[in-house]
Every structure is written in structure tokens, then in C-alpha cells.
Amino acid sequence: MTRMLIIGPPGSGKGTQAERISERLDVVAISTGDIFRANVKGGTTLGIEAKKYMDAGDFVPDSVTNKMVRNRLGEADVRNGFLLDGYPRTTSQVEYLDEILAKGEELDVVLQLTADDEELVQRLIGRAKETGRSDDNEAVIRHRLDLYHEQTEAVVAKYAGRGILTRVDGIGPIDKVTARVIRAITSLHEVAV
């Protein structure tokens, strides 16, 4: 069983790499962004609340996010492992995840994708033009990057202290990034890939 977290700034390729890792390790990828968008599209109470924050480029509050993640990690398809994408983003979410996993489970690997902020801004502006995402204009992108640096880097430090963090450069052709990711995961832990 593999329990992983992929973390990195907006636009670093987390979603793409999560899909590839999920297929390679045969574990379910759980993206909080996808969960949020599904709730927004479905018009759920949590989705309506989450949309206000997403449109402003802010993190969805822990109270909403934690409920969604707890429910998702309780589903049957995660029994053989999972790959979290986008959660935890704050140290309080790390503590909440520790409580969820307190049944003798813990994360095996935390993978951080790294990238230059200016490269990410250009990447996300390009993605916004292609997909029409309302939450990807330059001001919102820069705000999200600032939030990442202010809040999420403390999460990275926490997992580094536990000895389960590995960093990978997220810039370059997708296949090359994937190859770097798989090498990094296998060198940190004997994960069957």
C-alpha cells in the first residue's frame, strides 16, 4: 500500500503528475481541486461556499476542505493506497490529516514539485486562455503563489522533518518530469513502480 502526497505551487504540474503516478502505482489520485470543482458544478452547499474563495484566489477554509477530504478518504477505493493532490496545504490541515490517518496509517512519501514563479505565471495564463478558467487571471495567480509561499511551505518543512519529503524540478517536458518523479519516489522509499 502506498499513501502519498504531491505538493507544489499552482501550475507546477501536480495534476498531470498525480495521474501518471496513480496509474504507475495503481492507487487512486484524490485532487481537492477536482472535489471543489465538482461541488461547485453540482451546486452543493459546500460548493457554493468554496466558489467564493476559489474565485478570489484564496484557499477554501479548512472547515470545508477537511470535511470533503475526510469523506473521500473514507471511501472503499482508497484501501489500497492513495495520492493526495492539493491537501494538506496548511499545518493545521497536516494535523487534521494525521488524525484521519491515526488508525496506524501515515503518509509514505511527500513529493514536492518545484518551479520558478514567473514560469508558473506564464503557464497558468496560457492554461486560462486554453480552458477559460475564471480563477486563472494574473492577479489571482500571483495571489495564489503568495499564499502558497506563506502557508504551504510550512507544510513542506513539516514533512521534511519527518524524513518523507522528496523534491523534483517540475519544469520541462512532461515525460522527463515523470521520469524524475518516479526516480525520486523509488529512491526515497522502496515503492514498487
Which residues 6+ apart lie within 8 Å of 126 measured at CB? none
pLDDT on residue 38:
79
Each residue's pLDDT tens digit, 147-172: 889 888 899 999 999 999 999 999 99
Each residue's pLDDT tens digit, 39-48: 889 898 888 8
Question: In angstroms, how far is CA 12 from the centroid of its own chain?
Answer: 10
Burial (0-12, 13-18, 19+ Cβ within 10 Å), 173: exposed
**Binding residue per annotation — 24?**
no
**pLDDT, average across residues 177-184:** 94
Each residue's pLDDT tens digit, 59-70: 788 888 898 888
pLDDT on residue 103:
66
**Binding residue per annotation — 163?**
no
| Band of pLDDT at residue 29, cut at 50, 70 and 90 | very high
Each residue's pLDDT tens digit, 128-145: 888 877 667 889 899 989
pLDDT on residue 95:
93
pLDDT on residue 28:
93
What's domain 2-188's superfamily in CATH?
P-loop containing nucleotide triphosphate hydrolases (3.40.50.300)
- Return the domain boundaries, the chain: 2-188
pLDDT on residue 130:
84
**Binding residue per annotation — 93?**
yes
pLDDT on residue 1:
66
Where in the sequence numbering do the catalytic residues fall?
14, 89, 127, 133, 144
Each residue's pLDDT tens digit, 88-118: 988 999 999 999 887 667 899 999 999 999 9
pLDDT on residue 111:
95
**Binding residue per annotation — 79?**
no
The grid coordinates of residue 176 equal: 522527463
